[in-house]
Structure 1
């Protein structure tokens, strides 16, 4: 599970590859600590212990310390969610399946007893701004809008539907439902079924 590196013309040097690998290992360690004992257990010492990387090296890569590590971990989960969603969307047979794939991927992550709460509940409370916020939601909104517009062109979705507005609303409903799933107060299958029913109302008359 790694985030994509920026595009560049020259290959990475050995030093740069080692730096990138160290950052990946540190984020792995952060997620392992959160998965085992929750966000409150995350300290620099614990990350050092989990990863086998010294405190000094951790700060060399994440000068912002714990806060920056949490942001990187949150971004990793968001990036991985987008990748899983895109894969599921690519295998869907129709527009309903493509839209449903977003909810399934999000609810599956929310239902993960190890990391779902961090991504959907505690993470957003700690990370209130920055590029890490909304990685998954922004990608889903764009993909859902595209799927709706394509379905409208094919005559499968009501042309009166505002694809952009509906995409934002669907993502918002998924996020809210995922919070309930992660908190253990909502059943993922029930909310997925409810989401699927919402999609029926978008079909062309």
Structure 2
């Protein structure tokens, strides 16, 4: 058995073959995103995605044995993980309850403003349920838990006086953020307006 890496050790550099495999995988994910944005999930076939990526159908199934469902699930979870990492940074830094909620809102709107990513992450299409149900709501649940705990702590300190159950209020705030995500992704609402509205909302808690 090889020795365990010691804390502080640098990860071994990837071999050329590993780098090529990683690049091919990312090219397929990007192709899936582009085909989805252009044609929707129904037309985002394995053949179309593989062709866009400059690969064969066999190669795509080598990387994603479950086909397009696995591709879209991984795309969605990549965004979830980005948002979870951002939330960890926000809650590790100094700030009050309202500041943290506003920072979360800004992080989600940053995703919404990315043309392909925003449209994909905000989509509510029953045809995607099979692919996305295992990962849909992952980041939202964690965010709601973080907000609820922060709200409970703020209430214990006396900096928040609202009597509403923390988790119920947290769920409503996350729901408002998700709604704002969809509006910004569809370019129907300005980001500044959303931030201003959220600021008014959380400062009133």
**TM-score, normalising length: structure 1:** 0.76
Distance in structure 2 (CA, Å) of the matches to 1:75 and 1:183: 21
- CA deviations on 1:185-205 (whole Å, 9 max, x unpaired) are 111110111011111121xxx
In the alignment, what sits opposite 1:68?
Answer: 70
Aligned residues: 191
How far apart in 2 are the matches of 1:76 and 1:86? 15
1:150 pairs, out of 143, 149, 153, with 153
Judging changes above 3 Å, is the alpha-carbon distance between structure 1 residues 92 and 112 closer, same or farther for their aligned structure 2 residues? Answer: farther
Q: Distance in 1 between matches of 2:128 and 2:84?
A: 19
3-state SS of 1:121 partner:
coil
- Listed as ranges, the gaps of 5+ residues in structure 2 are 5-14
Select the structure of larger CA radius of gyration.
Answer: 2
Q: Tell me what 1:4 maps to.
A: none
Given the superposition, is the C-alpha separation of residues 126 and 196 from structure 1 closer, same or farther in structure 2, using an over 3 Å criterion?
A: farther
2:166 to 163, 174, 188: 163
2:7 aligned partner: none
CA distance, structure 1, for counterparts of residue 167 and residue 44 of structure 2? 38
Structure 1 89/29 Cα, relative in aligned 2: closer, same or farther at 3 Å?
A: farther
> Which residue is equivalent to 1:189?
192
State the distance in 2 between where 1:69 and 1:60 align. 12
Q: Give the Cα–Cα distance (whole angstroms) in 1 for the partners of residues 54 and 67 of structure 2.
A: 16
Q: Shift of the alpha carbon at 1:138?
A: 1.0
Matches for 1:6-85 after TM superposition, within 5 Å: 21=22, 23=25, 26-31=28-33, 34=36, 37=38, 39=40, 42-49=44-51, 51=53, 53-85=55-87
